[in-house]
Structure 1
Amino acid sequence: MISETVKFIQNLYRTEEFIPLHEPRFNGNEKAYLNECIDSTFVSSVGKFVDRFEAEFARTVGAKYAVATVNGTAALHISLILAGVERDDEVITQPLTFIATANAISYIGAKPVFLDVDLETMGLSPDALKYFLEQECVLSDGRCLNRSTGKTIKACVPMHTFGHPCRIDEIKVVCDAWHIVLVEDAAESLGSYYKAKHTGTFGTLGVFSFNGNKIITSGGGGVIVTDDEVLAKRAKHITTTAKIPHKWEYVHDEIGYNYRLPNLNAALLCAQLEQLESFLENKRLLANEYKEFLASQNILFIEEPENARSNYWLNAVLLDDLQQRDEFLDYTNNNGVMTRPIWALMNKLEIFKSCQHDALTNSLFLEERVVNIPSSVRL
């Protein structure tokens, strides 16, 4: 079974050389825009490509404003600050996520609360969220208080795992009822829609990533999207060291961060964004081929959830148990096909083991069974 899968993947990518999990494709105007940027000498945080990318990205996802940052983690950190999260507050998120989600919460001195995911989406379960809040929390003076810790739960950060949208509209309803700010971690879901609305635009703020393995990339990079003009202006202000605009004076009116995306990276992203639709079409064709083949091997391919259109950023399979998962990982990686397990649950890491969590039944099930398989756009 596994050997046939390796042969199939080699045939998909027309090579018997090493096949990575997800590598970038630079087939458009990347070099032309980079040269233009270099010739302009505006290669740092000021330049026309930054402004152009922000405007084009906002239009792409259907948000009013976009503020580019140096990476997705920085975007999430700033979004949590904009959401009003402060030291000793709590933020609800999922344990089945890349560590950046939990790290950004920790940068502020807040603490994550890990709640279970849905099996169908691998993203935060609105049912688990509602149950936890009803059982463990109380509303007091417009604040959601955790009865067991006495802390304020200020925000909720669901993540769209591998580009598959979670039930984000239901999560928003729960958050609104409990006066919790919704910040979407859409780092992996550019090009994904839930009920015909782009991910990242359901919450007060949404965050995307352009790391080297993402669907479009500038080697790094991130962006904050919002429909709130006040939040967008403050995001731009505090990501550029909170400097008050002036021709020569250096006056800063609050603690700021050097999180602005360089113009060089923005030039790459403008070229990559031009190719997004072709990337999405290519990846959907790949997903369909995987689905058909893997069904013949009795391997469950993880498909887009109900009411969703996924970008299929990272394709994934669900194996029978931990033993089969490890056998699959061992054979594929030893035969030139890169695969990887889903992340270790955040609450199992030493740095987050003291964090509150629920039973995490679905998260534990998926942790032992999900494996990512090569998902690069095929040339």
Structure 2
Amino acid sequence: MVTNKAIPLSVPNLSLDILEHIRETIETGWVSTGGRFITEFENKVAKYVGAERAVSCQSGTAGLHLALRVLDIKPGDEVIVPTVTFIAAVNPVKYVGAEPVFMDCDDTLNMDMDKLEEFLEYECDFIDGKVINKKTKRQISAIVVVHVFGNPADMEKLMDIKEKYNLKVIEDSTEALGSYYLEGKYKGKYCGTIGDIGVYSFNANKIITTGGGGMLVSNNQELLDKAAFLGVQAKTDPLYFIHDEIGYNYRMTNIQAAFGVDQIDRLESFIETKIKNYNLYKEALKDIDGLTLLPFRSDTRANHWFYSVIVDKDKYGMDRDELLRKLNDENIQTRPLWGLIHKQKPYLDNQRYRIKKASFYEKNLINIPCSSNLSEEEVKIVVEKLKLLKTKE
């Protein structure tokens, strides 16, 4: 069964049906930041997640930057962020002149809400509706929560914390389009639609792609109006080119959106395949001592974007890093968890709070192939290679 066939980690699942859309953009000349596909894609995303409106942008990172701007996060403010995430979730905090405070993860890899609550209660003062960090004397104004690998975070507890401490919540749902809650207060609600504003990404490795691109959603129409305004260079009077604020060239192109209108229609089939392949891995990996496939929350319908395996060196016979090298040498693309953000050079001086579990997952987690066009045969190849590598030890 094991072959030298290259199996990528996560690649786009594209259809040639999209060519008619691309042809239209070329024939009409609408290839840049105007055209019908932009509006159509925004409407389709909004309808899919149950939001009244969506505003497109150039990337998930651009979306997060706009979210921080429209929520009026000021220079000198602090924003609580996870250390387990891609650095793009944190960098926009610096773009607006604010400072991140890093929080640990729980066993879902998402922000540890118990530690968050503990930090706010014991390390901060709540004065006149504002959270003041006792250590830095700065105001904490917002929380960026990331639904890591498409596994929904505990938004019920987070929103209770938000209300108690008068904080703003940005949902980084760049990995979680299609994930929603099955139980509790937010039953039926999609990731990205619960906090003040949510952001999606359509990068090439995401569950649907426009090559690049992002999207903002919110229940607050004023926030989206402001995001749309800032994303097109803040033109107060577009006819006479009057600009009263600093804006950005952040709008999605019509060519990107032409991809998106096709991709969003196929999202549920992609998730179905992701779940099927995850369950194949889950059943097979039970027989390999020393490898544990991390679960998704059972009270949610996660999109199963990335699959995570924990490597127990003592039981498996090699550590995560050795397994990572061997699999990639065998043309099975795998990757480690991101380097923890609080340990990255630009953030060494920023506050972090009781980081413990994140360090364990950083050391022992590996992501295995999970594309939405991954075949059952390819899943078997990956599993057989994992079995062979253990046997050789």
Structure 1 length as normaliser, TM-score? Answer: 0.94
Verify: 1:35 aligned to 2:23, yes or no.
yes
- Partners of 2:245 and 2:253 in 1: CA distance: 22
Structure 1 residue aligned with 2:69: 81
Contact 2:308 2:368 in 1 (8 A): yes
Structure 1 residue aligned with 2:105: 117
The correspondence for 2:329, drawn from 324, 331, 334, is: 334
Structure 2 residue aligned with 1:305: 297
The correspondence for 1:232, drawn from 224, 232, 257, is: 224
Verify: 1:269 aligned to 2:269, yes or no.
no
Contact 1:301 1:318 in 2 (8 A): yes
- Partners of 1:66 and 1:33 in 2: CA distance: 21
Structure 1 residue aligned with 2:88: 100
**What is the root-mean-square deviation in Å for CA atoms of aligned residues?**
1.4
Shift of residue 139, structure 1, vs aligned partner: 1.4
Verify: 1:203 aligned to 2:200, yes or no.
no
- Partners of 1:26 and 1:94 in 2: CA distance: 32
Structure 1 residue aligned with 2:384: none
Task: Report the residue type matching 1:203 in the other structure.
Answer: G
Contact 1:169 1:202 in 2 (8 A): no
- Partners of 1:249 and 1:142 in 2: CA distance: 42
- Partners of 1:294 and 1:327 in 2: CA distance: 18
Structure 1 residue aligned with 2:390: none
Task: Report the residue type matching 2:148 in the other structure.
Answer: T
- Partners of 2:42 and 2:296 in 1: CA distance: 28
Contact 1:84 1:154 in 2 (8 A): no
Task: Report the residue type matching 1:377 in the other structure.
Answer: S
Equivalent residue of 1:296, what SS?
coil
Shift of residue 28, structure 1, vs aligned partner: 5.5
Shift of residue 26, structure 1, vs aligned partner: 0.9
**Cα-to-partner distance string for 1:248-281 (whole Å, 9 max, x where unaligned):** 3111121111100011101111111111111111
What is the identity percentage for the equivalent residue pairs of Structure 1 and Structure 2? 38
**Which stretches of structure 1, 4 residues or longer, exceed 4 Å deviation after superposition?**
none
Structure 2 length as normaliser, TM-score? Answer: 0.90
- Structure 1, unaligned runs of 5 or more: 1-6
Contact 1:44 1:264 in 2 (8 A): yes
Equivalent residue of 2:328, what SS?
helix
Shift of residue 27, structure 1, vs aligned partner: 1.9
Shift of residue 194, structure 1, vs aligned partner: 2.3
Contact 2:200 2:216 in 1 (8 A): yes
- Partners of 2:369 and 2:110 in 1: CA distance: 21
Contact 1:28 1:271 in 2 (8 A): no
Would you say how many aligned residue pairs link Structure 1 and Structure 2? Answer: 365
Task: Report the residue type matching 1:75 in the other structure.
Answer: G
Shift of residue 245, structure 1, vs aligned partner: 4.5
- Partners of 1:52 and 1:245 in 2: CA distance: 25
Aligned runs of 1:290-301 on 2, under 5 Å?
A: 290-298=281-289, 299-301=291-293
Shift of residue 16, structure 1, vs aligned partner: 3.2
Equivalent residue of 1:97, what SS?
coil
Verify: 1:21 aligned to 2:9, yes or no.
yes
- Partners of 1:372 and 1:138 in 2: CA distance: 40
**Cα-to-partner distance string for 1:2-41 (whole Å, 9 max, x where unaligned):** xxxxx6xx6xxxx632111101011263211111121111
Contact 1:221 1:265 in 2 (8 A): yes
Contact 2:320 2:366 in 1 (8 A): yes
- Structure 2, unaligned runs of 5 or more: 183-187, 376-393
Contact 1:193 1:308 in 2 (8 A): yes
Contact 1:91 1:156 in 2 (8 A): yes
The correspondence for 2:361, drawn from 361, 366, 378, is: 366
Contact 1:65 1:228 in 2 (8 A): no
Equivalent residue of 1:197, what SS?
coil
Contact 2:4 2:330 in 1 (8 A): no
**Cα-to-partner distance string for 1:219-244 (whole Å, 9 max, x where unaligned):** 10001110111111111000000012
Equivalent residue of 2:353, what SS?
coil
Structure 2 residue aligned with 1:68: 56
The correspondence for 2:172, drawn from 185, 193, 201, is: 185
Shift of residue 321, structure 1, vs aligned partner: 4.8
Equivalent residue of 1:93, what SS?
strand
Shift of residue 190, structure 1, vs aligned partner: 0.7
- Partners of 2:4 and 2:181 in 1: CA distance: 37
Verify: 1:151 aligned to 2:138, yes or no.
yes
Equivalent residue of 1:332, what SS?
helix
- Partners of 2:144 and 2:52 in 1: CA distance: 21
Equivalent residue of 2:198, what SS?
strand
